[in-house]
C-alpha cells in the first residue's frame, strides 16, 4: 500500500545550550503513509518536525526528499518542497482574514510586472470559499478574521491551505489540543484521508487512541532519540506505554 520514500532524514541532531533535544534521529516516510509521532513532554517531537518545517535548523544531519538532498532554512523552503505544517494554534494569523491566511506568502496577483502588482482579491475570495467547502468548513465569509473563529475552524483553515496548495506531506503537531470532541473528530477524519490521496503525514499526539485510529506507523521518541518504530498492527497502546 505504501509507496516510494518521500522524505528521509538521517542523523539529525539539535542542542539548545546544554540540552540535547534531538540526538541523531533518522526517519523515512513513504508516500501514502501517516506516521504517528509519540513520546513524553520534552522527548524531542516538536524539535524534529520544526527542523522539517523550517522553523529551526539542525546542528547536524541530512534531509532528502525524493532521494535529493535538500536544505530547509525557512518555512517557505519547506512549503516549496511540499511540506505543510499545522500547529496546535499558531499556524494562522488571527488579525488577517480567512482568505488572506489561505494565501499568505503565496498570494495570486491580478497582474504583475517583474513579480509585483496588486493582489487578486476576488480570486482569493472565490478560491478560499471553494477550498474551505472542500474540507467541510462552511464559514459566513472568507473575509472574516481568523481571530473570530473557533480553534477547530482555524485548524480547518490550515488544513484547507495544505489541500489547496497540494502539499505532499502534512505535519500536524498536536492539532487537536483545545478542540471540542466534534472538532477533534474532524481533524482525525482528515488525517485518515491522507493515505488515499498519495500524501503522507506526521501526526504528533499524546492521545494514543487517536494515533492508532489514524496512523499506519508509530514512531516513539524518548530523550531526543527514536526508541520505537513499528507498524500500528505490530504494536499496541500497552507496548508504547511501557517503552515511553
Interface with Mg ion (CB under 5 A): 46
CB of 179 to Mg ion, least distance (A): 16
- Tell which one of 4, 41, 68, 95 touches ligand ATP (CB under 6 A): 41
C-alpha span between 184 and 156 (Å, rounded): 11
Binding of residue 124 to ligand ATP (CB under 6 A): no
CB neighbour list of residue 80: distance below 8 Å, 6 or more residues apart: none
Instruction: Enumerate the H helices of the chain as residue ranges.
Output: 45-52, 75-80, 98-103, 121-134, 151-164, 181-194, 208-214, 237-243
- Tell which one of 5, 10, 24, 42 touches ligand ATP (CB under 6 A): 42
C-alpha cell at 148: 473570530
CB of 184 to ligand ATP, least distance (A): 17
CB of 136 to Mg ion, least distance (A): 27
C-alpha cell at 104: 499568505
- Tell which one of 6, 9, 31, 47 touches ligand ATP (CB under 6 A): 47
C-alpha span between 1 and 11 (Å, rounded): 27
* Residue 104 interacts with which of Mg ion, ligand ATP, none, CB < 5 to 8 Å by class: none
- Tell which one of 34, 43, 102, 125 touches ligand ATP (CB under 6 A): 43
Binding of residue 220 to ligand ATP (CB under 6 A): no
Binding of residue 76 to ligand ATP (CB under 6 A): no
Binding of residue 95 to ligand ATP (CB under 6 A): no
CB of 225 to ligand ATP, least distance (A): 11
- 3-state secondary structure at position 42: coil
> How many CA atoms within 13 Å lie on the side-chain side of 66?
5
The piece of 35-43, 70-78, 89-97, 207-215 that touches ligand ATP (CB under 6 A) is 35-43
Kindly tell me which of 87 and 190 has the beta carbon lying closer to Mg ion. 87
φ, ψ of residue 72 to 5 degrees: the values are -115, 100
Kindly tell me which of 47 and 91 has the beta carbon lying closer to ligand ATP. 47
Kindly tell me which of 49 and 102 has the beta carbon lying closer to Mg ion. 49
User: Which H, E and C letters describe 65-92, residue by residue?
Assistant: ECCEEECCCCHHHHHHCCEEEECCCCCC
In sign, the C-alpha dihedral spanning 72, 78, 83, 84 is: positive
Binding of residue 46 to ligand ATP (CB under 6 A): yes
Binding of residue 3 to ligand ATP (CB under 6 A): no
Helix 151-164, helix 121-134: angle, nearest 10: 110
CB of 49 to Mg ion, least distance (A): 8
Contact positions vs ligand ATP (CB under 6 A): 16, 19, 21, 39, 41-47
Amino acid at each position: 500500500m505504501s509507496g516510494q520514500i518521500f522524505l528521509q532524514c538521517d542523523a539529525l541532531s539539535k542542542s539548545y545550550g546544554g540540552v540535547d533535544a534531538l540526538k541523531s534521529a533518522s526517519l523515512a516516510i513513504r508516500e501514502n503513509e501517516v506516521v504517528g509521532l509519540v513520546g513524553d513532554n520534552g522527548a524531542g517531537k516538536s524539535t524534529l518536525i520544526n527542523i522539517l518545517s523550517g522553523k529551526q535548523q539542525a546542528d547536524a544531519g541530512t534531509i532528502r526528499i525524493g532521494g535529493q538532498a535538500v536544505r530547509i532554512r525557512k518555512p517557505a523552503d519547506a512549503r516549496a518542497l511540499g511540506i505543510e505544517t499545522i500547529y496546535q494554534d499558531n499556524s494562522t494569523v488571527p488579525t488577517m482574514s480567512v482568505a488572506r491566511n489561505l494565501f499568505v506568502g503565496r498570494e495570486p496577483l491580478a497582474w504583475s510586472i517583474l513579480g509585483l502588482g496588486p493582489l487578486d482579491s476576488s480570486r482569493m475570495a472565490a478560491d478560499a470559499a471553494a477550498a474551505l467547502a472542500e474540507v467541510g468548513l462552511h464559514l459566513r465569509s472568507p473575509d472574516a478574521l481568523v481571530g473570530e473563529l473557533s480553534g477547530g475552524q482555524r485548524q480547518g483553515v490550515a488544513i484547507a491551505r495544505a489541500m489547496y496548495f497540494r502539499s505532499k506531506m502534512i505535519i500536524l503537531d498536536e492539532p487537536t489540543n483545545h478542540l471540542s470532541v466534534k472538532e477533534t473528530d474532524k481533524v482525525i477524519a482528515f488525517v485518515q484521508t491522507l493515505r488515499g490521496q498519495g500524501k503522507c503525514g506526521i501526526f504528533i499526539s499524546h492521545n494514543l487512541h487517536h494515533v492508532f485510529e489514524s496512523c499506519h506507523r508509530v514512531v516513539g521518541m524518548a530523550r531526543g532519540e527514536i526508541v520505537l518504530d513499528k507498524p500500528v498492527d505490530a504494536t499496541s497502546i500497552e507496548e508504547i506505554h511501557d517503552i515511553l
